[in-house]
Amino acid sequence: MQMIPRSLKLTALAVALASTPVGAETLRLQTKNLTLEFEVGEGGRLYQRPLGTDMKRERLQRADEAYPQAGDGYIWEPALQVVHADGNTSTALVYDGVERNPEAADREMVRIKLRDPAYAFEAALCFRLHRDRDVVEQWTEIRHHEPGAVTLERMASSSLLLPPANVELTHFYGDWANEMNPVTERLTPGTKVLDSKIGVRAHQFGNPSFLLSLDGPATENSGHVLAGSLAWSGSFQFAFDHFGERVRVLCGVNPFASAYHLEPERTFATPVMIWVWSGAGFGEMSRKLHGWAHEFGFRDGRQPRTVLLNNWEATGFDFDFNRIAGLFEPAKELGVELFLLDDGWFGNQYPRVNDHAGLGDWEPNRTRLPEGLAPLAAEAVKRGLRFGIWLEPEMVNPKSALFERHPDWVIRQPKRELELQRNQLALDLTRPEVQEFEWNVIRDILSVPNVSYAKWDCDRYLTQSGSAWLGPDRQSHLWIDYVRALYALMDRTAKAFPNTELMLCSGGGGRADYGALKYFHEFWPSDNTDPVRRVAMQWNYSYFFPAMTLAAHVTHWGDRPMHFACAVAMSARFGMDLDLAKLPAQDKAVCAGAISAYKRIRDVTHLGDLYRLEPPQGAMRGALNFVAPDRSRAVVFVFQLKEGQPLPVRPQGLDSARKYAVRELNPAPGRAALPQEGRTFTGADLMRDGVVPSCAKAVEACVVELEAEP
Ligand code: GLA
């Protein structure tokens, strides 16, 4: 029977394994509450103790290898599979030392070096330990000095061993407009694979993030939780290999059709796998991961976001200068701060008046915008709004001047009929001319005076992964080299335009990953903006991503009451996608109230800690609250999904001793005031007795501010 300790903070270290030769090394990588422990065993191979156990084996076995290699005795799913320059298909890595470097007071970088005694081939297991947050970034660097290229068939970022008993996996599946549905299952013997093979994005059908609970089901406030998120915007693979007494979790790029020929003296660095540990359930895990993300995961993480108005749902492709300029005044009156012009502003030979033509031809359309973008941006600024613009630099419609000039620039398979998605093709970003073309497009658009925001879209994935540029020997590089070139482009953009805010979008939530997000400020979680659907979707994204990264726009999707739609959007990064001039007066008043409430609370919802209170899936309602870092304020959201009783909702994370005044923000017209409105209670009372919300009918919401007495 396997013993799993309550706390993973291992105190005693059992160095003396029976088979460990004298002088063998034990390596302990530690954050505050998590220890990763490695042993150098017989023959110098590197082994890992299953995470969170004090299992002492009589002999270290091959199944315990830290980063198993194919071809020399390891018979399960390997982390590394290589064909050496001379054709040998086996690799055998032995320990070759460790480098440890403190990077900051609570941050350490560790590189465990491995080498193959028979080949000039080496790998480094790299760990960046964020001690206070219990976050570990892990990746692998592979390098060699063999006489010719070696072929990497598999190259995992991470290959962690877990104890086998009672491991529960929660992962997230979906499709366009239906992203991020959770499913939880017990891992059983065999290999469970989660992956995507769509190349230019990781997500749509499955997100590259998951949750593991290590000793049976976890809850928001209890259980040992290990969450993982792969920072990669291309095809990925997670393999949960359960064999006998071990579970190995292999994470990285998808080996599918991705053999990589690595030249001598070049380093192949895998994408980063982000791990976060909590001994107290999913809530604490998310707060730690969010804390890391605010600092390292996305841009300007300490700057609350503006109120945005987008024209996509309001006008679609049907607009010109006057139609758009006409949206500015009502927007400003309502309190909007930033306007985003969406698709449809470009193309002349093939005007972009629908999604069939013009993509790739990035000159402003002369009929719609005779003087270009600058006067429209200037007009917005004159009315007191910032101005943003939509672009999709990686794509082309066959009906475009660009495609006519450069048919060989697209990703396609020779001798196959072109397979279009949304009438478009992806440009081959591995080709240097395409890299330069896309950079010029981005640079020119973002250099238009007064453009200070952009939405970077990507509305298809790869289905015919051929590159005329890569040639016959390197077709399998496309998946990896595309994403690397994409990151180079995003990095160049972020560096050249440090003050331009960027939204990551990919036909809905296709790029919901920390690989791309680090160059961006926020991402578009889904084209589905029905607030009922968004309550659950935002909840599920919130396991991994802070509220301020989740773009949430009020639209007419689902035809829900305006008050409910506004409340749901206010719990994330608030925006609107409505024709404000056509809004009935009552809805307009609700929107104005929501905007001013959002401005009041955004420092709390964007910079504070999230507590998920009542899960919405299949439930009567969902509820969550945010608490400011100094606990002087909190905001509680209740989203009623089905008719029910106005039962109290119990906030968490308050200061027990302080007294908080209760106040409903932007109350719905015609509803009775909260029973506790205007009264003051201690944090302890509020957390024990709760706040009775003003909502009880389906699609009603209630937003309550708790403000501590000075
Ligand atoms: C994608 C995006 C939408 C919108 C359209 C424009 O579908 O997800 O928000 O920008 O493209 O074509």
Pick from 8-12, 115-119, 339-343, 372-376: least confident: 8-12
Q: Read off φ and ψ for residue 151, nearest 5 degrees.
A: -110, 120
Catalytic residues, by residue number, are 457, 527
Query: Ligand 1 center to residue 180 CA distance, Å?
Result: 18
Output the pLDDT for position 504.
98
Mean pLDDT across the stretch 68-88?
97
Distance 507 CA to ligand 1 centre (A): 6
In terms of Cα–Cα distance, which of 12, 514, 517, 587 is closest to 251? 514
Index of the ligand 1 atom closest to the CA of residue 342: 10
Query: Whose Cα sits closest to atom 2 in ligand 1?
Result: 507
Supply the residue whose CA is at minimum distance from atom 12 of ligand 1: 343
Q: What are phi and psi of 118, to 5 degrees?
A: -95, -10
| pTM score of the predicted model | 0.96
Q: Report CA(478)–ligand 1 centroid distance (Å).
A: 25
pLDDT at position 18: 31
For the cut 80, the answer to whether the pLDDT of residue 341 exceeds it is yes
Mean pLDDT of the 227-233 span: 98
Q: How many other CB atoms are found less than 10 A from the CB of residue 670?
A: 6
Q: Ligand 1 centre from 77 Cα, in Å?
A: 39
- pLDDT greater than 70 at residue 15: no
Residue 3 has pLDDT above 70, yes or no: no
Q: How far is CA 70 from CA 73, 89, 379, 461, in A?
A: 7, 8, 62, 31
Output b/e per residue, 395-420; b: 16+ Cβ within 10 A.
bbbbbbbbbeebeebbbbeeeeeeee
Give the nearest ligand 1 atom to 508 CA.
Answer: 8
Whether pLDDT at 692 is above 50: yes
Residue 91's nearest CA partner among 20, 26, 140, 127 is 140
Question: Residue with the nearest Cα to atom 5 of ligand 1?
Answer: 343
Give residue-wise pLDDT tens across range 621-665.
Answer: 999 999 999 999 999 999 999 999 999 999 999 999 999 999 999
CB 256, CB 237: distance < 8 Å: yes
Residues forming a β-bridge with 660? 681, 708
Alpha helices in 367-431 (DSSP H): 374-382, 401-405
What integer pLDDT is reported at residue 243 of this predicted model?
A: 87
Place of tokens 């961006």: 520
Beta-bridge mates of residue 339: 309, 387
Please tell me the residue having the least CA distance from ligand 1 atom 11: 507
Confidence of residue 102 (pLDDT cuts 50, 70, 90): very high
pLDDT at 119: 98
**Which tens digits make up the pLDDT trace of 388-446?**
999 999 999 999 999 999 999 999 999 999 999 999 999 999 999 999 999 999 999 99
Task: Return the best residue to mutate from 345, 359, 457 for the ligand 1 pocket (most ligand atoms within 8 A of CB).
Answer: 457
Give me the half-sphere count of Cα atoms (radius 13 Å) on the Cβ side of residue 648.
Answer: 12
Q: Please state the length of the chain.
A: 710
Looking at the CA of residue 524, tell me the nearest atom of ligand 1: 8
CA of 312 to the centre of ligand 1 (A): 7
Give the model's pLDDT for residue 498: 98
The per-residue pLDDT for 423 is 98
Per DSSP, the residues of 77-119 read --SEEEE-TTS------EEEEEEEEEEETTEEEEEEEEEETTT
Point out the ligand 1 atom lying closest to the alpha carbon of residue 355: 12
Pocket of ligand 1 (CB under 6 A): 312, 342-343, 355, 390, 457, 459, 505, 507-508, 524, 527
231 membership: H or E segment, kind and range: strand 225-231
Ligand 1 geometric centre to CA of 90 (Å): 47
Average pLDDT of 270-279? 98
Q: What is the mean pLDDT of the chain?
A: 95
Average of pLDDT values for 342-363? 98
Q: What gap in Å lies between CA 86 and CA 89, rounded to an integer?
A: 9
For residue 688, how far is its CA from the centre of ligand 1 (angstroms)?
A: 44
Q: What is the pLDDT of residue 57?
A: 57
pLDDT score of 527 = 96
Distances in Å between the alpha carbon of 630 and those of 124, 293, 609, 653, 708? 41, 19, 10, 11, 10
pLDDT at residue 54, rounded to an integer: 57
Q: Give the closest residue to 200 by CA, choosing from 496, 480, 422.
A: 480
Q: Which of 179, 313, 390, 529 to mutate to test the pocket of ligand 1 (most atoms within 8 A of CB)?
A: 390
Distance of CA 302 from the midpoint of ligand 1 (Å): 27
In the reported structure, the alpha carbon of residue 383 is separated from the centroid of ligand 1 by a whole-number distance in angstroms of 26
The protein residue whose alpha carbon is closest to atom 9 in ligand 1 is 527
Do the Cβ atoms of 96 and 48 come closer than 8 Å?
Answer: no
C-beta of residue 374 within 8 angstroms of C-beta of residue 339: no
What is the model's pLDDT at position 643? Answer: 97
Please give the average per-residue pLDDT across 157-169, as a whole number: 92
Q: What is the DSSP string of 598-642?
A: HHHHHHHHHHSEEEEEE--TTSSEEEEEEE-TTSSEEEEEEEE-S
Nearest by Cα to 156 from 272, 274, 40, 76: 272
The pLDDT tens digits of the residues spanning 192-213 come to 999 999 999 999 999 999 999 9
Which residue, judged by its Cα, is nearest atom 7 of ligand 1?
507
* pLDDT at 10 (0 to 100): 30
Residue nearest (by alpha carbon) to ligand 1 atom 6:
343
DSSP state of 153: E
